[in-house]
């Protein structure tokens, strides 16, 4: 944690204070949209990790499917809405799986480059850039799924999903 003293964030007794967060407002939409799609995202992540039908992660797939169903049930989604949401994430699963595999391969290449007898900084930088691009593609796919899911749900259901998220303080975006 970086502690700084800032004229815009002074403490009354002159002790160092935490620097204010920057850019958090631009992520507000994500905080509002993310809980809606928790089930869909977790389902697709399970599928991407081999948890799809017949995959080696059957338990994970089942657990994530149950979470998706629970979130959708908690917000009052109809059976039709649940089927639409599931179809969205099943449709994205092959692309998410490929993105996960690509990112894993890039991490392995970076590890190999960092443990080589001679360090090639330019090659490592190129791998880092490729890794960032890979994460961006994954983020694009997840956002596509979240937007599609949000369009299936009503505004009231989306609000319930936000409230549901805040009831789970153990979740990175939940609680205070």
Averaged pLDDT score across all residues of the chain = 74
Query: For the segment 127-163, what is each residue's pLDDT rounded down to a tens digit?
Result: 999 999 999 999 999 999 989 988 999 999 998 877 8
10-13-15 Cα angle (round to 5): 65
Is residue 10 assigned to a domain? no
Q: For residue 153, what pLDDT is reported? A: 93
Q: For residue 36, what pLDDT is reported? A: 44
Number of domains comprising the chain:
1
Is residue 171 assigned to a domain? no
For the whole prediction, is pTM greater than 0.75? no
Is residue 174 assigned to a domain? no
Q: Which domain holds residue 138?
A: 31-164
Q: What phi and psi, each to the nearest 5 degrees, are found at residue 17?
A: -125, 160
Instruction: Say if CB 125 and CB 133 are below 8 A apart.
Output: no
Query: For the segment 62-84, what is each residue's pLDDT rounded down to a tens digit?
Result: 777 777 788 899 999 999 999 99
């Amino acid at each position: 944690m970086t502690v700084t003293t800032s004229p815009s964030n002074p403490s009354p007794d002159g002790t160092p204070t935490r620097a204010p967060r920057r850019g958090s407002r631009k992520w507000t939409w994500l905080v509002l949209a993310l809980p809606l799609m928790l089930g869909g995202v977790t389902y697709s992540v399970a599928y991407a990790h081999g948890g799809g039908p017949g995959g080696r992660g059957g338990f994970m797939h089942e657990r994530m499917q149950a979470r998706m169903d629970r979130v959708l049930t908690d917000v009052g989604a109809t059976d039709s809405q649940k089927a639409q949401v599931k179809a969205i994430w099943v449709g994205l699963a092959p692309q998410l799986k490929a993105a996960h595999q690509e990112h894993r391969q890039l991490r392995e290449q970076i590890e190999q480059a960092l443990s080589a007898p001679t360090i090639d900084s330019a090659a490592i930088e190129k791998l880092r850039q490729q890794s960032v691009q890979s994460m961006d593609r994954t983020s694009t796919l997840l956002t596509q799924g979240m937007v599609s899911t949000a369009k299936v749900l009503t505004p009231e259901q989306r609000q319930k999903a936000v409230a549901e998220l805040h009831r789970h303080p153990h979740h990175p975006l939940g609680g205070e």
